[in-house]
Structure 1
Amino acid sequence: MKPNSHNAISTTSVKDHDLPAYTVRISDRAKYVSLSLSMETGLEVVIPCNYDHRKIPELIQQKREWIARNQRKLHEREAFLQSQDPHLLPDSLNLRSLQQQWQIEYIPTASKGIQIKENKSISKLMISGNVNDIHACKFFLKKWLMKLAEGHICSRLKQVSKRINLPYNSVTIRSQKTLWGSCSGKKNISLNYKLLFLEPHVVDYVLIHELCHTVYMNHSDQFWRLVSKFQPQYKEIDKSLNQAWKIVPAWLEP
């Protein structure tokens, strides 16, 4: 849940033998310096336009422990995903956020394409066509999940926003490897469709977290005080998110 609050003007990759490799992103929206770490972008330092670049190495040095801890988490996740077989198609979907368990039946036919039909009364998906095409089956399953998330998660965000009285501008459902959600400076929220696999109270925490970024575009003490106002147990839930990816099926990864 990284606050995507910055409009980048330029990006520079930096290598220093004494420091971890990192990328500097200059933003005209950034008011503070922020660090983020992901499998997609690596270590990124976002700085305001008028920030003194010479201070960055010292900042990286001060954050070495945080960087090392989060790099270990990313490596652990990468190792876990590599140990799974992404080529196996699922026979069920445990959608915890909806408290639904969907069964999947694959029906081979002469058709070269793939078709998905759902029977909501028994929570069953029937996938027919060239079901030996694993890539196509995964593509249409992901498409079905995205559509489901656009209905359920967007609706839930609207409810939570109204309850805690923190409005947002728009919401988009996306597929992201390491982020559960993000919020822009224009109060546009992006949410990961894989939230469908998390428990309802964890999903609500992610929504609260991003809605609080509409007020504070950082992780300052003020931000966390606002989060705690709406979710007093945020520390425990936030910690559980570090392992939440283990319950997201490996076949969903690209």
Structure 2
Amino acid sequence: MPEIDLNGKKIQYEVSVRRVRYVRIYVSPEGKLYIVSPTRRVERFLKEKEDWILSKLEKIERAKNIRGFPYLGKFYPFRDGKIFTDNKVLEVSDKRKLEKTLKNELRTLLVPLVEERAASLGVKPKRIFIRKQRTRWGSCSPKGNLSFNLAMLALPPELIDYLVTHEVAHLVEMNHSKKFWTLVEESHPDWRKKRKELKDWWVIIHNNPIWREILGGRE
């Protein structure tokens, strides 16, 4: 794998050569650097993006150093195979049981929020799914089904509410048009700030060893 020196830091990267017009760069939540480019000669481009790349990697390193299990926006201690939250103890050894418990908790939390947002917009989803989604927080299908990422249970309540609002709004507008964001803004005028916060949480969750193992399966 090729390597480049950015401000004294040796960074490996992977290039995917495709028929694209511009070079695109991605930093995975785990800190891997991927480039999509019409050519393998990307060193100059990486140097130009040095500050951006290093800032992303620094954020990931901070996330890796966070201790505890992210749950509803807080970080709870993990010891002796158990997670100690404010009102319960979660056993980590039985991954299937833990996943089932977390899914039930998220569903219990989500259903009233979905019903409230749907009623305010005059819509009704057909079904609600909770899945281990690898690339997104949620989705709305053309059939009117809503899917939410199990990892949402790690988030602060206000971000969970925003994600519910976002997906329910898609029952009215399936795209991200101006009308769509107007609907979202009625409940979350600070949606731009929340979207940035979600990016930070995505990195935190995918660098947490327990969440990473929970989410390791296919959707």
Q: How far apart are the structure 1 equivalents of 2:121 and 2:109?
A: 19
Query: More deviation in 224-233 or 205-214?
Result: 224-233
Mapping of residues 52-71 of structure 1, within 5 Å: 61=21, 64=22, 68=24, 71=25
Mapping of residues 80-99 of structure 1, within 5 Å: 80=60, 84=64, 93-96=69-72
**CA deviation after TM superposition for structure 1 residue 125, in Å:** 1.6
Give unmatched runs, 5+ long, in structure 2: 1-15, 32-59
Distance 1:151 1:103, change over 3 A: farther
> Which residue of structure 1 lines up, in the alignment, with residue 211 of structure 2?
252
Q: How far apart are the structure 2 equivalents of 1:146 and 1:208?
A: 19
Bigger share in strand: 1
Which of 116, 134, 142 is matched with 2:99 structurally?
A: 142
Percent of residue pairs bearing the same amino acid type: 25
Which of 132, 150, 168 is matched with 1:175 structurally?
A: 132
SS in structure 2 of the partner of residue 186 of structure 1: coil
> Which residue of structure 2 lines up, in the alignment, with residue 235 of structure 1?
192
Q: How far apart are the structure 2 equivalents of 1:119 and 1:201?
A: 22
> Which residue of structure 2 lines up, in the alignment, with residue 11 of structure 1?
none
Q: How far apart are the structure 2 equivalents of 1:243 and 1:126?
A: 25
**CA deviation after TM superposition for structure 1 residue 16, in Å:** 7.4
**CA deviation after TM superposition for structure 1 residue 84, in Å:** 4.9
The runs of 4+ residues in structure 1 deviating greater than 6 Å are none
> Is residue 187 of structure 1 aligned with residue 120 of structure 2?
no
Distance 1:138 1:239, change over 3 A: same
Q: How far apart are the structure 1 equivalents of 2:155 and 2:89?
A: 20
> Is residue 223 of structure 1 aligned with residue 176 of structure 2?
no
| TM-score of the two chains, using structure 2 as the length reference | 0.61
Q: How far apart are the structure 2 equivalents of 1:17 and 1:160?
A: 42
Give unmatched runs, 5+ long, in structure 1: 1-14, 20-60, 108-115, 128-133
Aligned residues: 166
Deviations along 1:209-248, one digit per CA (max 9) or x if unpaired, are 1011111111122222222233221112112222221332
Deviations along 1:168-205, one digit per CA (max 9) or x if unpaired, are 22111111122110000111000012111111111111
Q: How far apart are the structure 1 equivalents of 2:160 and 2:137?
A: 9
| TM-score of the two chains, using structure 1 as the length reference | 0.54
Deviations along 1:41-62, one digit per CA (max 9) or x if unpaired, are xxxxxxxxxxxxxxxxxxxx4x
Mapping of residues 12-31 of structure 1, within 5 Å: 17-19=18-20
Q: How far apart are the structure 2 equivalents of 1:152 and 1:241?
A: 18
Deviations along 1:63-85, one digit per CA (max 9) or x if unpaired, are x58xx3xx52xx2413149x959
> Which residue of structure 2 lines up, in the alignment, with residue 32 of structure 1?
none
SS in structure 2 of the partner of residue 176 of structure 1: coil
Q: How far apart are the structure 1 equivalents of 2:119 and 2:76?
A: 30
> Which residue of structure 1 lines up, in the alignment, with residue 87 of structure 2?
123
